[in-house]
Amino acid sequence: MGEDSFKNVLQKILSPAGIVLNGERPWDMRIKDGKFYRRVLSEGSLGLGESYMDGWWECDDLIEFFRRVIPTNAEKKLKKSPALLLYLFQSIVLNPGRRARAFRIGERHYDIGNELFTHMLDKRMVYSCAYWKTADNLDNAQEAKLDLICRKLCLRQGDRVLDIGCGWGSFAKYAAEKYGVSVVGVTVSKEQTALGQELCKGLPVEIRLQDYRELNEKFDRIASVGMFEHVGYKNYRIYMEIINRCLKDPGLFLLQTIGQSISQRSGDLWINKYIFPDSIIPSMKQISASIEGLSVIEDMHDFGAYYDRTLCCWHDNFEKSWEKLKHIYDERFHRMWSYYLRSLAGAFRSGYLHVWQIVFSKGTVTAAYPTVR
């Protein structure tokens, strides 16, 4: 097949999404290298992302491009490449989230530089979906989300709280300041640990470089925000058993995670290679199966529509700060990071991905759980 034939095949796949190759609308693709067509047809999402990083194609509105293309399941119409088949095999047979690889996500993503995240995120450095119900800017929306978590956990002064996947300590710092609790936060990122300890200095907060599987102590409340995506489906039950082991009876656990409607056993190949190694988005079926006999779901809240706006704010901040960051990162990284933020925004805008806040209880519940919104 020649270039025109590959182009025609790809155009047929993209047509249900209303996308025209070399079209004039903001969401249309403008192809700069003819080798693009064959690369995408043979490599799927990996080829699409890498060819964008290499400057082989452009699109003025990547968010709208992905909002349109994701619901059509375009990638399922492509022949699976050997690289993709190998990746799927390894995801199913092996355990990417096993203990020996626990710190890989920290090294590959969160340790790429605190300067990047300082410029991209809000003033509290919250790296998860904000809560925009009444907020008009990112700082306020992230504080609203932190307060929402505290209220859903029914925090009481003097409580001992565990934060699994604590990031730079944003929740720990907020909960200690506003609700008078002590917090232990664990992360697998050395950079997050160092900066988190500095930001929480003087508060009853301990930030540890520690894998969740090493935890074996009691807490009144437990929170985990934006970390479950890195656990891996083979480890969901182990994760929930550790929550059960560490949570006092009675106690509350709040889980915030990106979710999807269909259970999968592997994540997106481009995302796994360049952004979040070993990541996979859970389904509600997988979560509910993992807590059977351990916990009760008291409350379920989906505010995935807010992640589109959150990601757009992060992207705007990233672009505005690029002049300050380009001495650290090259142009290929610039394109990669922009693609990551905008492709995810498109996925949330399409409704393909969700953000779930789930409150679980352990032990005897003496009163109805007070639903908080």
Q: Give the CATH number for residue 241.
A: 3.40.50.150
Q: Does 210 have pLDDT greater than 60?
A: yes
pTM above 0.85, yes or no: yes
Contact criterion met (CB below 8 Å) for 119 and 142: no
pLDDT of residue 88: 57
Q: What value does the mean pLDDT take over residues 189-206?
A: 98
Q: Does 28 have pLDDT greater than 90?
A: yes
Tokens of 6: 């590959």
DSSP assignment of 329-373: S-HHHHHHHHHHHHHHHHHHHTTSEEEEEEEEEES---S------
Quick one: 237 and 281 in the same domain? yes
Evaluate whether residue 329 is within a structural domain: yes
Question: Using CA atoms, how far apart are residues 92 and 265, in angstroms rounded to an integer?
Answer: 6
Quick one: 183 and 257 in the same domain? yes
Q: What value does the mean pLDDT take over residues 112-117?
A: 96
Average the pLDDT over each of 35-39, 106-110, 163-167, 328-332 and give the range with the smallest value. 106-110
Quick one: 109 and 53 in the same domain? no
Cα angle at 87 between 84 and 91, to 5 degrees? 140
Instruction: Give exposure, 130-154, as e/b (b: 16+ Cβ within 10 Å).
Output: bbbeebeebbebbbbbbbbbbebbe
Average model confidence (pLDDT) across the chain: 93
Quick one: 254 and 320 in the same domain? yes
Q: 62, 42, 67: which is closest to 52 by C-alpha?
A: 62
Q: 306, 297, 293: which is closest to 349 by C-alpha?
A: 306
Query: What confidence tens digit (pLDDT) does each residue in 36-92 have?
Result: 999 999 899 999 999 999 999 999 999 999 999 999 998 877 766 666 666 555 656
What CA dihedral angle connects 185, 191, 194 and 199, to 10 degrees?
-70
Q: What value does the mean pLDDT take over residues 17-22?
A: 97
Question: Using CA atoms, how far apart are residues 143 and 168, in angstroms rounded to an integer?
Answer: 15
Evaluate whether residue 372 is within a structural domain: no
Q: What value does the mean pLDDT take over residues 305-313?
A: 98
Question: Using CA atoms, how far apart are residues 212 and 186, in angstroms rounded to an integer?
Answer: 7
Q: What value does the mean pLDDT take over residues 330-343?
A: 98
| Neighbouring residues of 251: CB distance < 8 A, sequence distance ≥ 6 | 219, 220, 221, 222, 361, 362, 363
Q: Does 237 have pLDDT greater than 70?
A: yes
Query: What confidence tens digit (pLDDT) does each residue in 123-178 have?
Result: 999 999 999 999 999 999 999 999 999 999 999 999 999 999 999 999 999 999 99
C-beta neighbour count of 204 within 10 angstroms: 16
Evaluate whether residue 95 is within a structural domain: no
Q: What value does the mean pLDDT take over residues 242-249?
A: 97
Quick one: 187 and 286 in the same domain? yes
pLDDT of residue 267: 87
Quick one: 29 and 158 in the same domain? no
Evaluate whether residue 84 is within a structural domain: no
Q: Does 9 have pLDDT greater than 70?
A: yes
pLDDT of residue 81: 61
Q: Does 227 have pLDDT greater than 80?
A: yes
Quick one: 52 and 121 in the same domain? no
Of 311 and 73, the one with more pLDDT: 311
Quick one: 219 and 352 in the same domain? yes
Evaluate whether residue 320 is within a structural domain: yes
Quick one: 63 and 122 in the same domain? no
| Neighbouring residues of 97: CB distance < 8 A, sequence distance ≥ 6 | 230, 231, 232, 234, 235, 278
Query: What is the span of the domain harbouring residue 202?
Result: 100-362
pLDDT of residue 120: 98
Evaluate whether residue 91 is within a structural domain: no
Contact criterion met (CB below 8 Å) for 357 and 264: no
pLDDT category at 368 given cuts 50, 70, 90 is confident
Evaluate whether residue 94 is within a structural domain: no
pLDDT category at 3 given cuts 50, 70, 90 is confident
Share of the chain above pLDDT 70, in %: 93
Q: What value does the mean pLDDT take over residues 212-239?
A: 97
Q: How many domains does the chain have?
A: 2
Contact criterion met (CB below 8 Å) for 321 and 120: yes
Q: Where do runs of H (alpha helix) occur along the chain?
A: 3-14, 36-53, 62-69, 82-93, 104-105, 114-120, 138-152, 170-179, 190-199, 236-246, 269-274, 284-290, 305-320, 322-325, 331-349
Quick one: 57 and 206 in the same domain? no
Evaluate whether residue 57 is within a structural domain: yes
Share of the chain above pLDDT 90, in %: 84
Quick one: 190 and 331 in the same domain? yes
Q: What value does the mean pLDDT take over residues 244-265?
A: 95
Q: Does 251 have pLDDT greater than 80?
A: yes
Question: Using CA atoms, how far apart are residues 7 and 34, in angstroms rounded to an integer?
Answer: 9
Quick one: 41 and 124 in the same domain? no
